Amino acid sequence: MRRSMLGRLAVAACTLSLLTALAPAATATAPPTGTRDAGHDRSYRRVGYFTQWGVYGRDFQVKDLDTSGTAAKLTHLNYAFGNISEQGTCFTGNVPGEADPWADYVRPLDAADSVDGVADTPDQRLAGNFNQLRELKARHPGLKVLISLGGWSWSTHFSDAALTPTSRRKLVSSCIDLYLRGNLPRDGARGGPGAAAGLFDGIDLDWEWPGSAAAADTAFRPEDKRNFAALVREFRTQLDAFGRTRHHRYELSAFVPAAPAKIDAGYEVRRIMRDLDFVTLQGYDFHVSGEKTTAQQSALHARGDFSVDNTVRSWLRRGAPARKLIVGMPFYGQGWTGVSGGGNGLGQPATGPAPATWAAGYEDYKVLRTLAASGAYTLYRDTEGAHAWLFDGTTLWTYDDPQVLRTKARYVARHGLGGAMFWSLDADTADGELITAVDRGLRGR
């Protein structure tokens, strides 16, 4: 599930509310029906999420994308997140829990944390993550940066904003003004008209979820399904019109769910796929640490349960082109403690989420990698299902390591899918171990 500045830290509770009462996708034995690649030589989209709040506790800076080699392996970087106001517009400002302009474009960075090695000055109009992303694009000209709107906690007003033609036009116009025209609110010397112009190359819609219950304060309606399709059409129309004035094509994508019930409740698949450049599929949080029994969170294959393969099939059956399906891959794990029943720990009762660095039941891969090497845990693999977990007799972590991700990348290539997406880049190792594994898998190595 996804995630906002605060919502991702509470992922276990949030995702549990999403998955309860959902029927799992049926398992099929035939391969997905997408056009297969003859080889591994075509270009794939590699979409990574950079979290606005990762610059704080994790101290993960935009510069780290460059020094780790990650930026060179990405085609798209999604900045998480932008918010939608109660009035139905894209906005930012000093509203605790609702926006963070300090991280976005106000915070000055010193030379050591700057992509170009030059410290920010007090009078420059753009600083913070936005300025660093601009510098990163200068160093990697092929990289596209998209603003991702919503997330688990910030999808609150999506349904209201999408309700009528007038409200849809208002929302889309405000998002283009704020992010593509770059008309940021003034904050001292920062911001002002055009301050972030040229930074963003498109918009990613992370509405969780049209037509289905999600976070407690997020509105949803049966008509969300048709309204989402109309909103996508409005974004495509206005983006194309604005692009003609800038001689630039702006991209439009969406993050979409794994559960068939949520797909059917919220998405006119064939219709939206005409206007979206691609969708990123939920490929994780199939089971979460808020559940009472341990289980896989991101298996490639799982009979009678959620899985990446079942998710891909669900979207293909509903008319999505294979080349527009981007498989989501987790750079984190879900964990339980108080696991009883013996064996390898999977499918056993647990007393609650495992203790972790940032939030109980949720841990970055770079930490799980250390646990795996400590000797205290046994690493288990389901080679048929293509997933892995760690178990020490009491605590279990289900996660993706490089071997699992290479297998998933080869699946993407074998079935003619569009590429891979990663949540989130700050959870990888300092040398980009996970994204390197995916890159090699997509290249057939």
If you ran DSSP here, which 8-state letter would residue 229 be given?
H
Contact 85, 91 (CB under 8 A): yes
From CA 146, how far away is CA 157, in angstroms rounded? Answer: 20
Contact 418, 278 (CB under 8 A): yes
| Active-site option among 208, 234, 251, 268 | 208
From CA 136, how far away is CA 127, in angstroms rounded? Answer: 13
For 149-216, the DSSP string reads: EETTTS-TTHHHHTSSHHHHHHHHHHHIIIIIS--EEEETTEEETTTTTTS--EEEEE-S-TTS--ST
Q: Phi and psi (nearest 5°) for 12?
A: -60, -50
Element (H, E) at 104: none
- Per DSSP, the three-state class of 239 is helix
208 catalytic? Reply is yes
CA quadruple 336, 342, 346, 347: dihedral positive or negative? Answer: negative
Q: Phi and psi (nearest 5°) for 329?
A: -130, 135
CA quadruple 215, 51, 266, 22: dihedral positive or negative? Answer: negative
List of residues 6+ apart from 146 with CB closer than 8 A? 76, 77, 78, 79, 200, 201, 202, 203, 204, 251, 253
From CA 431, how far away is CA 364, in angstroms rounded? Answer: 14
From CA 416, how far away is CA 322, in angstroms rounded? Answer: 6
For 373-388, the DSSP string reads: HSSSSEEEEETTTTEE
Element (H, E) at 52: none
Among candidates 279, 404, 256, which has minimal Cα distance to 333?
404
From CA 251, how far away is CA 436, in angstroms rounded? Answer: 25
If you ran DSSP here, which 8-state letter would residue 225 be given?
H
Among candidates 33, 19, 5, 4, which has minimal Cα distance to 289?
19
Active site residues: 208
